[in-house]
Structures are given as C-alpha cells and as structure tokens.
C-alpha cells in the first residue's frame, strides 16, 4: 500500500469513528438532567415564556426528530446553532481555537524542550542528581493539582513580584503562566519516558558496537540512540497534545484563558446541546487527526513501522 492509500484508509476509518461518536454524544448530552430553556430564562421567568423558548429551539420535538435534524445538518458540515448565544456553533469554536492552539502548542513545546534533554541526561547518568530530579518531578508534577500550581504562580509572579499579568489573554506575556503551569504537569511523565527509552537503546547491541568502534558520544546519541528512542517520546507527546487540544479546562478557568475547554464547560452548564456536541465532536476530530499524523510520523522515523503498517492494512 502506498502512503497515499494508507492515508485514505485512515481517513475513511476516522470518518466512521466520527459518525458513531456523534450518535453517542447526541444521546449522552441529552441524558444529563436539565432544561436549556429554563436555564436560559432563569428560575424567576414564567413557565409560559419558558415554554415558548422550548418551541423556538425545537426542544419540544421527539428525540429521533431532533437527531435527524442534527445528522442532516452535520453531514452538510453544519454543527448547528448555539442555544445560548444564538450564533453558529462553528463560529464559536473557531473564535476560541487560536487560543487553544497557542496554549497547547506552547505548553507541549516547553515540556518537550525541558523534558527530553533532562531525560537524556538522566539516562546517561542513572544515579546522578538529574536522574533523581526526573523521578521527583514526575511524581510532584503529576500529583499537584493544576489549579493549585496555577494559583501559586499567579500569587508569586503577579501579586507579589508584579512581573506578569495575573490572567487573561492578548499578549505573549499572558501566555507564560498558563503554559508553564501545563508544562509543569507534563514534564515529569515525558522525561521519565525519555529516560527509559534512551536507557534501553544505550544498552542495545548496535550502540555497544558503535561505542566499541570508538564513535564519539554525541554522534552515538544523535545517530543511533535518539532515533530509536523517538517512537515512545512521540507517542506520549502526541497523546498529551491531543488532550490539550481538547481544552485544558482547569488551566483555562484559572487563567481566564478563552479556549475550547472553558467553552465546553460553559456549554455543559447551560445544557447548550448543539454547542456541547460541536465542541466534543471537534475534540474527537482533533484527537483522530493527531493520531493519524503521529502514525505517519512513526512511519517516517522508523522504517520497520513503515513496512508493518502498510503491509498489514
């Protein structure tokens, strides 16, 4: 199978996943107790006004009819209209998307830039201080709640030192604290994986041979070790990135960062079915896309993967 065919195969597969997911999401979102019309109007509104809103939104129709309308417009590429804002769901997502992209990629890049060198150093000197630091970071970073880290950073760098804005968006300075908060959460895991992968390749026969040949350490690292360690690092980084693209809900809330995550939370609290569905579908789409890209990258960095993948499908 050629690369082009492989990509087509993966996209078809993704499309089917996507349709199945849309049915599940449609049902799950409506399983939550609550009535969007009442939530819009507030408790003090009269029932007759609320009922009129229900009719205007089509919420009084049977579920299968609502689903048919939803699927028909979805197949036309229309995600529907937000109940709360009265604007197209796609517009709402696209307004928030740049913020999510900026935060996700900055945080992940920061995490990779710190974690990979740290992991390599730790692998080269397994009993050193660096190696211990990696272990501790992995535990601390993953177990400290993100909102706590975030608030601490705000109180230190904004309230006390007055170096950075406490929250909001609009300049690169605003991006620093939220991405550091997220990166702190990601670094430990990524560094641990890097260390393990590099240690494994360091012990493998071809590296031992290369050493015996008298190759310099830097050459061995670049040519033989890192290339072989890339697959697990790529896997972890892409899963992390996929999760971040779905919105870093807590970080976004703490830093008032107007991304996809806060949009999702907002839409669920308002039982804004079309908007919630749209955001979740988008998140799933982003995850699928990243998986496809990662698989292609695997194939590019590893000839064995290339062969196995393309032959079996």
Per CB under 8 A, residues contacting another protein are 32-35, 38-50, 52-53, 56, 84-87, 92, 95-96, 127, 129, 132-133, 135-136, 139-140, 144, 147, 151-152, 154-156, 158-160, 162, 165-170, 253-256, 258-259, 262-263, 266, 269-271
Q: Least distance in Å: CB of 54 to another protein?
A: 11
Q: Least distance in Å: CB of 214 to another protein?
A: 31
Looking at the Cβ atoms of 62 and 86, the one nearer to another protein is 86
Q: Least distance in Å: CB of 37 to another protein?
A: 8
Looking at the Cβ atoms of 73 and 167, the one nearer to another protein is 167
Looking at the Cβ atoms of 132 and 216, the one nearer to another protein is 132
Residue 103: closest CA among 191, 172, 155, 187:
172
**Maximum C-alpha span of the chain:** 85
Q: Least distance in Å: CB of 312 to another protein?
A: 42
Query: Residue 181 has what DSSP assignment?
Result: H
Taking CA atoms, 201 is separated from 116, 123, 156, 277, in Å, by 15, 10, 41, 44
Calculate ∠ Cα 165-270-103, nearest 5°. Answer: 30
Q: What is the 3-class SS of 58-76, one letter each residue?
A: CCCCCHHHHHHHHHHHHHC
Q: Least distance in Å: CB of 147 to another protein?
A: 8
Looking at the Cβ atoms of 56 and 204, the one nearer to another protein is 56
Q: Distance (Å, rounded) from C-alpha 125 to C-alpha 123?
A: 5
Looking at the Cβ atoms of 21 and 39, the one nearer to another protein is 39
Helix or strand or coil: residue 16? helix
Q: Distance (Å, rounded) from C-alpha 175 to C-alpha 183?
A: 12
């Amino acid at each position: 199978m050629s690369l082009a065919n492989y990509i087509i195969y993966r996209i078809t597969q993704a499309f089917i996943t996507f349709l199945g997911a849309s049915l599940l999401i449609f049902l799950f979102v409506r399983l939550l107790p609550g009535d969007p019309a009442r939530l819009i109007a507030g408790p003090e509104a009269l029932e007759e006004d609320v009922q009129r809103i229900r009719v205007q939104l089509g919420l009084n129709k049977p579920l299968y009819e609502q689903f048919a309308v939803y699927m028909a417009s979805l197949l036309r590429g229309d995600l529907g209209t937000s109940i709360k804002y009265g604007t197209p769901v796609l517009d709402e997502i696209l307004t928030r998307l740049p913020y999510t992209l900026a935060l996700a990629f900055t945080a992940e890049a920061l995490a990779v830039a710190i974690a990979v060198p740290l992991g390599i150093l730790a692998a080269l000197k397994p009993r050193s201080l660096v190696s211990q630091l990696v272990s501790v970071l992995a535990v601390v970073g993953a177990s400290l709640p993100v909102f706590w880290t975030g608030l601490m950073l705000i109180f230190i760098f904004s309230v006390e030192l007055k170096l950075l804005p406490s929250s909001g968006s609009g300049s690169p300075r605003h991006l620093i604290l939220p991405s550091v908060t997220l990166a702190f959460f990601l670094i430990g895991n990524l560094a641990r994986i890097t260390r393990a992968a590099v240690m494994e390749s360091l012990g493998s026969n071809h590296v031992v041979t290369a050493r015996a040949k008298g190759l310099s350490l830097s050459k061995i690292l670049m040519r033989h070790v890192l290339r072989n360690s890339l697959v697990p690092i790529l896997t972890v980084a892409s899963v992390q990135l996929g999760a971040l693209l779905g919105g870093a809900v807590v970080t976004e809330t703490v830093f008032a960062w107007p991304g996809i995550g806060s949009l999702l939370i907002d839409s669920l609290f308002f039982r804004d079915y079309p908007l919630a569905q749209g955001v979740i579908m988008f998140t799933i789409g982003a995850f699928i896309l990243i998986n496809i890209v990662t698989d292609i990258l695997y194939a590019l960095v590893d000839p064995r993967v290339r062969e196995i993948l393309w032959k079996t499908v």
